[in-house]
Amino acid sequence: MFLLVACSEGGNYEAAPSGVEKLTTVDIGEEPPKETPESGEIPVSVPRIAYTYRYQYRLPAEHIAQVQARQASLCEKQGPQVCRVLSMQSDLGENDYASGSLTLAVAAPRARAFGQELAELVSGQGGDQIGSAIEGEDLSKQIVDTAARLKARRLLRDRLMEVLATRKGSVAELVEAERGVAKVNEEIDQAESWLAQMQGRVDFSEMNLSYAARTPSSGGFLGPIREAVRNLDTILGTVIGALIILGAIGIPLGLVIWGIVWLVGHLRRRGRN
């Protein structure tokens, strides 16, 4: 019986025994790969690099939400072909503590310049950029390998479809060929998805923005005073809590001691009489 293996890991496809003449005349295996350099690497003419930008800002706590919203609006004004908002989060804590984050996808050619525009918005609200980083991941070989595999699978699918179109062979052989087509189509869809995802990472750089509140300076003459005022509620709470504990323990214990002293004195007076 004719047997087709459409998705083996090594890319080899078995044909039927030589006794079946109708289908062995049709070569449905993949074409042998073209010769590559001795190193085994596929030559890549243009590097395909996915960049990730990270920026850290410090500004007054009351301005974090406002700056975050303005930066998101600036992104949306560029249009979805240039910038997209992926996520936004803010945490407005007590006193002078607040934080937030914003994740954008920016068209790679515009990423660096757009980062400068975002920094200018922060400076306009009394903030500073306190950190930055750029990371790059080379996806060139992965993209080339996936594209080559996709091309081979499409060619194999076409050949399988030719086998089905000629209707040569037994029913079992045709059913096996149909299963092979379904499996190859599944591999093609998966490869197309991977290729689109990697290409998207190259075309759009990820930009991660983080915000932290600017805290008052702890130095100078007023530093300890600010710290004491900030911690005043904590200190008062601790003192009141300690008084409650002392009262809960001291009052019953004092009553017991007073009772013992009174009883001893009473017994002594009776003994004298």
Q: How far, in Å, CA of 268 to CA of 173, rounded? A: 116
pLDDT of residue 211: 93
Is the pLDDT assigned to residue 2 strictly greater than 60? no
- Per-residue pLDDT band at 273 (split at 50, 70, 90): low
| Contact predicate 187/156, CB 8 Å | no
Mean pLDDT, the chain, whole residue set: 78
Look at residues 50, 45, 11 and name the one whose alpha carbon lies nearest to residue 150.
Answer: 11
List of residues 6+ apart from 224 with CB closer than 8 A: none
Phi/psi of residue 26, nearest 5 degrees: -105, 115
pLDDT digits (tens, 9 = 90+) for 167-177: 776 777 778 77
Q: How far, in Å, CA of 263 to CA of 266, rounded? A: 5
Hey, which residues does 85 pair with through a beta bridge? Answer: 104
Q: What is the DSSP letter of 169?
A: S
Q: What is the DSSP letter of 101?
A: E
Tell me the pTM.
0.56
* Beta strand 49-59 pairing with 204-213: parallel
pLDDT digits (tens, 9 = 90+) for 54-96: 999 999 888 898 999 999 999 999 999 999 999 999 887 665 6
Question: CA-based diameter of the chain, in Å?
Answer: 134
| Domain ranges within the chain, ordered by starting residue | 46-215, 223-272
Q: How far, in Å, CA of 44 to CA of 148, rounded? A: 12
pLDDT digits (tens, 9 = 90+) for 204-214: 999 999 999 87
Angle at 190 between CA 186 and CA 192, to 5 degrees: 115
236 in helix, strand or coil? helix
pLDDT digits (tens, 9 = 90+) for 118-163: 999 998 888 899 999 999 999 988 898 889 998 989 988 888 888 7
Of the candidate ranges 36-45, 73-82, 87-96, 219-228, the one whose mean pLDDT is the lowest: 36-45
**C-alpha torsion sign, points 139, 141, 144, 150:** negative
- The alpha helices in 19-110, defined as continuous H runs, are 21-24, 64-77
Give kind and range of the element (H or E) at residue 128: strand 128-138
pLDDT of residue 58: 93
